[in-house]
Chains A and B, each alone.
Chain A
């Protein structure tokens, strides 16, 4: 893998010329953010992986055909493709949502929240799964704004335009989502203690 800090644009140029390492570096650099954005929308890890694969195959084809023209904006571009494919999947499955059950363990026994604020930086695996469940339980529109702003790094104005709502509505949804998560996290902390 290329260890240098080459920009995404440089890596894409190298990849166009047949350098596979450039693609590996791009994947390694962005896979977590792209995958998390998809996973939080579709909720199922295996579906999220399928979508991730489709997204990369799509962008590989676009780049190889010389149709990529968003220099310097690779991540927002691929995140939008990922988002569109996730939403398409979500809409198709909305009437018959697939419920993925955990391993059966009691979430309350697994909770391991940090006591100090600094420890937010080292969330345990169980806490990560628990917080994902809380995000999954948010109303769809709130979850969408949260993913678009927090993981896709879209501005509130861009989110408003993409979702056809006013910026105030987008901000309101984000606020409710964040406060709702906060309350649930805090509540479970107290319950566990």
Chain B
């Protein structure tokens, strides 16, 4: 496994996209190579931060969307 390939596998591993046939080989590398373990840890921690990074739109924009829909519904009913 080349270094580049391993680096890409780390990203796939953290995002649960690592191919099944590569899983065992990667698990072995993870257990035996501290550099890989460190990078998995770093990327996983960043992923956790991103998991908690969610923004909400204002209530007014949600109200505008709902108002548009209600108006459309009303127009459908009277037509």
Contacts and interface: CB of A to CB of B under 8 A. Distances in A.
A24 B59 CA distance: 12
B78 interface: no
22 contacts: A32-B56, A36-B54, A45-B55, A49-B61, A52-B57, A52-B65, A57-B68, A61-B72, A117-B45, A120-B48, A121-B48, A150-B50, A156-B11, A175-B7, A175-B8, A175-B43, A178-B11, A178-B43, A179-B39, A179-B43, A182-B43, A182-B45
Interface string A112-124: 0000010011110
B18 to A, nearest CB: 11
Contacts, number: 112
B42 A149 contact: no
Interface residues of A, number: 45
B69 A23 contact: yes
Interface size for chain B: under 10, 10 to 19, 20 to 34, or 35 or more residues? 35 or more
**Binding site of B, secondary structure by majority: helix, strand, loop or mixed?**
helix
Given A20-B69, A156-B11, A182-B43, 9 more contacts: A27-B62, A32-B55, A32-B56, A35-B56, A60-B68, A120-B45, A123-B49, A168-B4, A178-B46
